[in-house]
Structure 1
Amino acid sequence: MSPAPAASASVSWRDLAPAPVILLLGPEDYLASRSFESVRRKMRETEPDVESVRLDAAQYEAGALIVLGSPSLFGGTKIVEARGLAQMSDAFLQDALTYLEDPAPDVVLVMHHSGGTRGKKLLDRLKAGKAVLVECQPLKKDSDKVDFVATEFRAARRRAEPEALRSLVAAVGSSLSELAAACQQLISDTEGTITAETVEKYYGGRVEATGFKVADAALAGRGGQALGMLRHALSTGADPVPLVAALAMKLRAVAKVYGVRGSSAQLAKDLGMAPWQVDQARREAQRWTPEGLNYCIQVLAEADAQVKGEARDPVYAVERAVTAISLGERADTPAAIRRAVS
């Protein structure tokens, strides 16, 4: 009985090297585009004249892949980039299955499937075979986005402070292409260590960054400063919704680590946070009582509902939440907080 085929090898898009068959799997187009680019760049390092051909799997015409896989009279390696596998035609599915039975030795076939069930038979064959698999999934956790920008700076041999990384993620948002572009701008326009002040200079006007400044001041007990920044942000057109979201994110981090024992590295792994986020949340947690923390979480939940339409005055809802959080670390009981914010 012949042995079962080896499972496909999974690698990070950053470590991707040319291989006979590569599958990029997932809806994050930015990671897929970086993967295609990485293969082209690494191939051209050894073969400057390598030919690159693109195929649209949705508009594919029968026989094209087989022709591209045929030996060339002039020799040399081809890169075949097949995109749109999530909408692949029946002809592409059949030809791809046939091609996998005997991949051409002088072809690097890179395919991107953004997700869904179309072409499941092909995906199963690729995963069970010797294809190299690159996961192109969206980065949903802020800790993953922080790791992403940290690696961008590290690849450019630039040092960035942890607070600068968090501020950049907060300021730029969730788009990986925008995060990467922001990193490249800071790399090209600045020198030395990238600090929170550097990020503030370039991206301090973003609403998300303002929200985290308010949250940092509130959790540190600097109520007057937090309210002053909040009112300035609101007066310049900031939306209360992301401001409340920033407050909630900071307070949730404190709640996650409150009373939990263990190393920063282990907690970071268990809680889906970066080690520096664990350390920061632990420092902030020392100033809270369980009762005050629980009450402020309730206040934030109410504020979240109110800024999303359940109250006529969303500004008051945000101010009340900021006041409660800034007092929460010092007040002995929830009743003391309630009296202060009522």
Structure 2
Amino acid sequence: MSHIRLCEPWTSQSTPVLVTTVRHLSPGREAAVRHLGGGSRPRRVLGHDEGVTPPAADATPPHPVHLVVGEEELLAERAVQDIVTRARAADPETDVRRMRIGEIAPEDLAEHLSPSLFAEGRVVVLTSAQEAAKGMATAVLRYAAEPADGIVVVLVHQGGARGKSFADDLRKAGAEVVRCDRLTRPAERADFVRAEVRRLGGKITGDALEVLMEAVGSDLRELASAAGQLVADTGGAVDEKSVRRYHRGKAESSGFTVADKVVAGDRAGALEALRWALVLGVAPVLVADALADAVRTLAKVGAAGRGDPNRLASSLGMPPWKIRKAQGQVRSWRPEGLAVAFAAAAEANADVKGAAADPEFALERAVRRIIDAREMR
């Protein structure tokens, strides 16, 4: 029976990386599912936060066979590093060998998996496991059935249909599985950034989180790098002002900035932000999507009433800080105005996706119409 670990954001205060439900955990850590990267104590992030002191490593010896599966490259790298760290905590002299599975023969693998004369620890990392030929897959599964003491095998598999039967066989053979699925939803990436900042000993406000994600984008590695830089340079208190200071240009010209000024009724500021965004190459469709999201958020929050943001979060499908912010904004809107704004945002989306000859003019018109709608009395 395999043991499964998930690469997901988490909020626990414990320090080890990738804590899971497997029986190899120390007492009191079972049943916790966390994001790759440890607890709230500061820790080095792949070279981005030099000078930050890492927490003490978990000295529990790792499982003999691991399957790291998923497309999220950064999380897979951290999963492998966590296994290596745990192995070296148990045996500081542990040797690490990395190789692509399609570039070695089964007989070569047998040599890497044979105990040494002096019984030193060893971690053998086999990347691109989805490329394993039949003979190699058989050799790995044979080893998984009777692993050698002190030797840990880590297979990194991208997931998907290719090599799926090999991955399934590894699970059945008892491999400890670490899932590193791609984070596709903005909420998942927001949880990742929040956990990343917390892991480094910092705290990020909701507004700062939104601006950071708009400025940096969806690439997890870049988000991790930006989070590490901000925590290191601010002393841990990451607010909107600090994000805008370090990401000036992108943050000031994002679709989010335009939309935020629009729903707040800042006509001059919204038009200036829109023109600056277009000059810097922000795609019109991103601005249109941000406008639609901002109006849709106001409509949903307004319809929900003045409830507790923390309680409304699950039913509305958005974080409490976003609900709290929208509750303050929607007070300046009438239902009739929101209906007009909703129609304007929908028209702008259609225009930038081909219905209009000039998408930039269509966006400026939408900005004016939405602000006019806010002023309806």
Query: Residue 205 of structure 1: SS of its match in structure 2?
Result: coil
Cα deviation, residue 201, structure 1: 0.9
Aligned residue for 2:54?
none
Distance 1:269 1:208 in 2: 30
Cα deviation, residue 236, structure 1: 4.7
Aligned residue for 1:326?
371
Q: Are residues 1:30 and 2:51 paired?
A: no
Verify the 8 A CA contact 1:88 1:118 in the aligned structure 2.
Answer: no
Distance 1:207 1:188 in 2: 19
Residues 291 and 94 (structure 1), Cα distance of their counterparts in 2 relative to 1, 3 Å cut: farther
Greater Cα offset, 30-39 or 286-295: 286-295
Q: 5+ residue gaps in structure 1? A: 333-342
Cα deviation, residue 133, structure 1: 2.1
Deviations 1:192-230 (A, max 9, x none): 511111111111211685321111111112223212322
Q: Are residues 1:102 and 2:97 paired?
A: no
Cα deviation, residue 63, structure 1: 2.8
Q: 1:96 corresponds to which letter in structure 2?
A: V
Q: Are residues 1:92 and 2:136 paired?
A: yes
Aligned residue for 1:296?
341
TM-score (norm 1): 0.85
Aligned residue for 1:274?
319
Q: 2:344 corresponds to which letter in structure 1?
A: V
Q: 1:136 corresponds to which letter in structure 2?
A: C
Distance 1:267 1:55 in 2: 49
Q: 1:182 corresponds to which letter in structure 2?
A: A
Q: Are residues 1:8 and 2:3 paired?
A: yes
Verify the 8 A CA contact 1:11 1:132 in the aligned structure 2.
Answer: no
Cα deviation, residue 154, structure 1: 1.0
Aligned residue for 1:151?
195
Greater Cα offset, 304-313 or 163-172: 304-313
Aligned residue for 2:286?
242
Greater Cα offset, 55-64 or 123-132: 123-132
Deviations 1:57-112 (A, max 9, x none): 22231233333332221112111111102222222221122222122231222111
Aligned residue for 1:65?
109
Greater Cα offset, 292-301 or 111-120: 292-301
Verify the 8 A CA contact 1:51 1:78 in the aligned structure 2.
Answer: yes
Q: 1:328 corresponds to which letter in structure 2?
A: A
Residues 292 and 127 (structure 1), Cα distance of their counterparts in 2 relative to 1, 3 Å cut: farther
Deviations 1:19-74 (A, max 9, x none): 22222111111111121122223333342221111131222312333333322211
Verify the 8 A CA contact 2:123 2:152 in the aligned structure 1.
Answer: yes
| Identity of matched residues, % | 35
Q: 2:319 corresponds to which letter in structure 1?
A: A
**Matching of residues 159-238 of structure 1 within 5 Å:** 159-206=203-250, 210-238=254-282
Query: Residue 22 of structure 1: SS of its match in structure 2?
Result: strand
Query: Residue 58 of structure 1: SS of its match in structure 2?
Result: helix
Verify the 8 A CA contact 2:253 2:276 in the aligned structure 1.
Answer: no
Query: Residue 238 of structure 2: SS of its match in structure 1?
Result: coil
Residues 209 and 48 (structure 1), Cα distance of their counterparts in 2 relative to 1, 3 Å cut: farther
Q: 2:184 corresponds to which letter in structure 1?
A: K
Verify the 8 A CA contact 1:8 1:128 in the aligned structure 2.
Answer: no
Distance 2:301 2:104 in 1: 53
Distance 1:163 1:213 in 2: 11
Aligned residue for 2:156?
112
Higher helix share: 1
Residues 230 and 127 (structure 1), Cα distance of their counterparts in 2 relative to 1, 3 Å cut: same
Q: 2:329 corresponds to which letter in structure 1?
A: E
Greater Cα offset, 291-300 or 178-187: 291-300
Verify the 8 A CA contact 1:218 1:326 in the aligned structure 2.
Answer: yes
Residues 320 and 161 (structure 1), Cα distance of their counterparts in 2 relative to 1, 3 Å cut: same
Cα deviation, residue 131, structure 1: 2.6
Cα deviation, residue 127, structure 1: 3.3
Q: 5+ residue gaps in structure 2? A: 9-16, 20-57
Distance 2:187 2:163 in 1: 33
User: Number of aligned pairs?
Assistant: 327
Cα deviation, residue 148, structure 1: 1.1
Query: Residue 232 of structure 2: SS of its match in structure 1?
Result: helix
Distance 1:125 1:285 in 2: 54
Cα deviation, residue 306, structure 1: 2.0
Residues 119 and 260 (structure 1), Cα distance of their counterparts in 2 relative to 1, 3 Å cut: same
Q: Are residues 1:49 and 2:93 paired?
A: yes
1:307 corresponds to which of 328, 352, 357: 352
Query: Residue 215 of structure 2: SS of its match in structure 1?
Result: helix
Query: Residue 125 of structure 1: SS of its match in structure 2?
Result: helix
Residues 95 and 187 (structure 1), Cα distance of their counterparts in 2 relative to 1, 3 Å cut: same
Deviations 1:271-301 (A, max 9, x none): 5432222322333344444444344333223
